Structure 1
């Protein structure tokens, strides 16, 4: 081994160690995402995972048919988990995603109410709408919006949540988890762990029925064996 090879090998070892340690420390204490309607997500059901950006128009448009389909089947057949995936080219994606994580910690039953509110009034947080606002002003707007949507009694707790670094970490973990699954845009959908190809970012209600119906039929014909 030459003298020039030794430093290079040592450098590669250090680089590998630097990459390995953070990747281990990012593992969360529980599975990432927001479970729909506080229903226990189970592998005994058809498990749908959606990756959403709260200020992405395609995410907004894809949500109603997915929600309608999940409600149609019920918790005994279909489970849903939504993961936040804040896109870097949407200026307020991270702060709105973080608001969802904060609210989920405060009251998990309110998380989807806030997601619905963000989708319904999404234009308030578009890049152009907040272009001349400071970061602090945007944060105040998000806190005020979330408090108004869920009840002003939560305003103090939501504001405190933005001062807690753990909520920022949770939001980054969601993004990194999406990256680990090969997510690069929104919306992204997985059914029972497999990616559902979507050409235009949306699947209508009938489209979801075509995906889910055959899977629920298999559940009925081949129930999960319990040993």
Structure 2
């Protein structure tokens, strides 16, 4: 997990973010719903906090997706939240691209996330060190357009000129901070943090071992508990 030691200045920033986030309530729950599977108390709900240019996020994505795909639509649901890490230079702009695309076509969001993870090296700090912010933005727009189809290019470019998409991306980050997220990947299952070692990622079997008992217990859980 990308979780370096947090200096005092960063702790102060996170504290300020938490205070400010108390007054920011979005019109809908944050995050991207996977495959339009409705998230509810009737499913095992997994929430993942990802940075599109984080190698640990990338490595954890395939086994999580495989596990979620294994279960039926009404059994397990997944929501991904963007959490752009400040020490990844292009985390915010790539996260914003996901929010823009999600507004345009929710079916394309995860296609773009897959592409970012597959080709994230081109957006690493070292690879874009000598580039201007405008040049990096053009690269992200071009990448997203070539991934989803050039018909998206104009709309994606317009999205970056819309302050609302920047607000959505900031809200996602502040929401993560309000949940105690400090690195990526971070996972919650049914609202509770999934602990694992910083140097490890949960593989497919690990997710199965975590989810299977919850489904078994759910089958014997009183339906009128609420």
Q: Same fold (TM over 0.5)?
A: yes
What CA deviation, in whole Å up to 9, does each residue of 1:67-103 have, x standing for no partner?
0000001211101000000000000000000000000
Displacement after TM superposition at 1:224 (Å): 3.1
1:1-227 alignment, distance < 5 Å: 22-199=20-197, 200-222=199-221, 224-225=223-224
Please give the alpha-carbon distance, in whole angstroms, between the structure 1 residues aligned to 2:63 and 2:165. 29
Displacement after TM superposition at 1:218 (Å): 1.1
What CA deviation, in whole Å up to 9, does each residue of 1:163-212 have, x standing for no partner?
00000000000000000000000000000000001212510000000000
Q: Is there any run of 5+ residues in structure 1 with no aligned partner, and where?
A: 1-17
Compare relative contact order (CA 8 Å, sep 6+) and give the higher one, 1 or 2.
2
Please give the alpha-carbon distance, in whole angstroms, between the structure 2 residues aligned to 1:159 and 1:131. 22
Aligned residues: 210
Relative to 1, partners in 2 of residues 1:201 and 1:115: Cα closer, same or farther, differing over 3 Å? farther
Q: Is there any run of 5+ residues in structure 2 with no aligned partner, and where?
A: 1-15
Q: Partner of 2:10 in structure 1?
A: none
Relative to 1, partners in 2 of residues 1:96 and 1:134: Cα closer, same or farther, differing over 3 Å? same
Q: CA RMSD in A?
A: 1.7
Q: Which structure is higher in helix share? A: 1
Q: SS of the residue aligned with 2:30?
A: coil
Q: Is the 8 A contact 1:51 1:188 kept in 2?
A: yes
